[in-house]
A and B are shown apart, each in its own frame.
Chain A
């Protein structure tokens, strides 16, 4: 008799415990790849989400920069354990993520949860749509801008244009450069650090794809096409400007570039709109910042979005996946998008957010936040501005940046790009062979 009661008691207790556990919060692991001030904003978002409801706890972890995060995730996937539920992967990692077979397509989750993804702005949505299906959530989408030191514009009596073709940009840079009596540059016209992304965007904006098969969107990319006239003209200009003391010698260093701008040593700074908030803060009251669209060769096509997106990985329980998706849904909430936009510079990916009062008042305080949005709105929507989708993108970028540096050292631009193309194509072929295996 006693034994039976004991057993019953235990059963009741364990059932109660079980239901308590299920009634408790689901933990969802989230790896993000942005440090510094943007990282702080992400942590803030997570904190707000966690306190806004009692079903899901997002456990956020800064897993290093984009490359490091991708590496760690890859290693964890290879080991079969230790990978997060939600992970932030940069734009160029898209092909790899889809090929890995380790992700849950967002569109599938959206269908299941009756979430209407047509609310998303088309360009970011298109970027992350592969073979007709949207795979990840465009979380922090950006595009490149020209940042101007307004005081420099005034002192050099240069008018700021809303957008520039390459010839106009070169002319403006030269006019903004200040040299002393001995010919030494005291203020550079521009600080433009070497980053493949800038070449990609310049190509897209000039109507040139970066890889074949229509930027890898109509079929898998098998060849790179960055050795096009736009890239050549661009690099030739950079070589001229750097040799002539018009462009600051910052190499690949984005932080040095920002610093040069903040210290007033360069009149124009080129960067993602994501740095708008941080740059404005760093500049403080030194000078007003103005922004323009990213340049193009002759005729403006439109830029692709940059930044990163959030992916959901397979291998978690349904509760966890639902929890992860509810976090993503919350991120897409207009209020959240508005705050995120104003606190970083990334533009909202949900339609209509720009019309909300919060965002409107933010824009009236700092017009620069509108520039990226306007640039996106006025970009043509085609496979070129959809951005290149290809594997081994990280490695290929290193070849392109090396080419940039070689051109600065004197190598002819076409030659450098052609050589980089050979290496890149080999890498791409190797990747495609690996996927087939």
Chain B
């Protein structure tokens, strides 16, 4: 009997906790389905649920465009990171030489430089290059990612030497070995890195804020700021926009939870 009571209490407890954690999101969801008049109505559920705020949000603001921008930028950066990290990581792992050792030490050093410190001079440089308001500015600086290089290097280092020796004997060069042997084996690591990079890029705020001016290039995160200051009091519309912007990462997370989890764990615990 005790056991059942304990079970029930456990379920109640954990459900309460989970509900509490999700509560702020729920309230945002709730207000996003209310018409202008109902916004200030104090109730859990919207009294007359309507899709009006979503309609208005989509009509008034190019939300899909913002999402598209975020998606484009995040995808480009993710692809770039995967490519560069694999190439560089492989070279650092399997080609022994003082040069690669030096570069690896450099990479480790760069792991310590957080983006927020360099955003100002980077912004000035981008400005001078005339890249303000370009996809180039949003993507190129992030393609060489120290964490990505580090992770792939560690992974490739962990592969058995015999694999490569056999290929060597067959006359394969490094590029061949990378493409035919190392990469196929790296799929889980690459998947995790992709998830980590995509999420990280999607979430970037400060740098895209200062580097883009026009509405066309605005990414979803910054767009929220503009929408919320434009529609300051119409919380329902702002909430609707926020929900729309939340959906992609939420859905991606629900489907690829494994990859996300692995990516985050790998990226932060470095092993």
Q: Shortest distance in angstroms between A87's beta carbon and chain B's nearest beta carbon?
A: 12
Q: Shortest distance in angstroms between B170's beta carbon and chain A's nearest beta carbon?
A: 53
Q: Is the CB of A61 within 8 A of B127?
A: no
| A63 to B214 Cα, complex, angstroms | 7
Q: Shortest distance in angstroms between A59's beta carbon and chain B's nearest beta carbon?
A: 12
Contact of A78 among B127, B213, B214, B229 (CB under 8 A): B127
A75 part of interface (Cβ distance < 8 Å): yes
A3 part of interface (Cβ distance < 8 Å): no
A36 part of interface (Cβ distance < 8 Å): yes
Q: What 1/0 mask marks residues of chain B from 212 to 242 whose CB sits below 8 Å from any chain A CB?
A: 0111000000000010011011000000000
Q: Is the CB of A82 within 8 A of B232?
A: no
Contact A72:B213 (CB < 8 A) given known A79-B128, A79-B130: yes
Contact A82:B130 (CB < 8 A) given known A61-B214, A63-B213, A72-B213: yes
* Chain A positions 65-107 with a Cβ under 8 Å from a chain B Cβ: 65, 72, 75-76, 78-79, 81-82
Q: Is the CB of A82 within 8 A of B132?
A: yes
A259 part of interface (Cβ distance < 8 Å): yes
Closest chain A residue, CB of each to CB of B129? A79
Closest chain A residue, CB of each to CB of B226? A64
Q: Is the CB of A79 within 8 A of B132?
A: yes
Q: Shortest distance in angstroms between B125's beta carbon and chain A's nearest beta carbon?
A: 10
Total interface residues on A, CB under 8 Å, equals 18
Contact of B132 among A35, A61, A75 (CB under 8 A): A75
* Chain A positions 203-261 with a Cβ under 8 Å from a chain B Cβ: 253, 255-256, 259
Q: What 1/0 mask marks residues of chain B from 5 to 21 whose CB sits below 8 Å from any chain A CB?
A: 00000000000000000
Q: What 1/0 mask marks residues of chain A from 250 to 289 whose CB sits below 8 Å from any chain B CB?
A: 0001011001000000000000000000000000000000
Q: Is the CB of A75 within 8 A of B127?
A: yes
Interface centre among B127, B213, B214, B229 (most CB of A within 10 A): B213
Q: Is the CB of A79 within 8 A of B232?
A: no
Contact of B127 among A79, A253, A256 (CB under 8 A): A79
Chain A residues whose C-beta falls within 8 Å of the C-beta of B229 in the assembled complex: 65
Chain B residues whose C-beta falls within 8 Å of the C-beta of A82 in the assembled complex: 130, 132-133
Chain B residues whose C-beta falls within 8 Å of the C-beta of A259 in the assembled complex: 233
Q: Shortest distance in angstroms between A162's beta carbon and chain B's nearest beta carbon?
A: 31
Q: Shortest distance in angstroms between A286's beta carbon and chain B's nearest beta carbon?
A: 13
Closest chain B residue, CB of each to CB of A75? B127
Chain B residues whose C-beta falls within 8 Å of the C-beta of A76 in the assembled complex: 127, 132
| A63 to B124 Cα, complex, angstroms | 19
Q: Is the CB of B232 within 8 A of A255?
A: yes
Contact of A81 among B124, B130, B226, B233 (CB under 8 A): B130
Chain A residues whose C-beta falls within 8 Å of the C-beta of B130 in the assembled complex: 79, 81-82
| A35 to B60 Cα, complex, angstroms | 12
Chain B residues whose C-beta falls within 8 Å of the C-beta of A253 in the assembled complex: 232
| A72 to B212 Cα, complex, angstroms | 9
Q: Shortest distance in angstroms between B235's beta carbon and chain A's nearest beta carbon?
A: 11
Chain B residues whose C-beta falls within 8 Å of the C-beta of A64 in the assembled complex: 213, 226
Q: Shortest distance in angstroms between A278's beta carbon and chain B's nearest beta carbon?
A: 12
Chain B residues whose C-beta falls within 8 Å of the C-beta of A36 in the assembled complex: 230
Q: Is the CB of A255 within 8 A of B233?
A: yes
Q: Is the CB of A35 within 8 A of B128?
A: no
Q: Shortest distance in angstroms between A153's beta carbon and chain B's nearest beta carbon?
A: 25
| A256 to B214 Cα, complex, angstroms | 27
Which 9 residue pairs across A and B have the least CB separation, nearest first? A255-B232, A79-B127, A72-B213, A259-B233, A81-B130, A75-B127, A79-B128, A255-B233, A35-B230
29 inter-chain pairs at a CB distance below 8 angstroms, sorted by A residue, are A35-B230, A36-B230, A61-B214, A62-B215, A63-B213, A64-B213, A64-B226, A65-B229, A72-B213, A75-B127, A75-B132, A76-B127, A76-B132, A78-B124, A78-B127, A79-B127, A79-B128, A79-B130, A79-B132, A81-B130, A82-B130, A82-B132, A82-B133, A253-B232, A255-B232, A255-B233, A256-B232, A256-B233, A259-B233
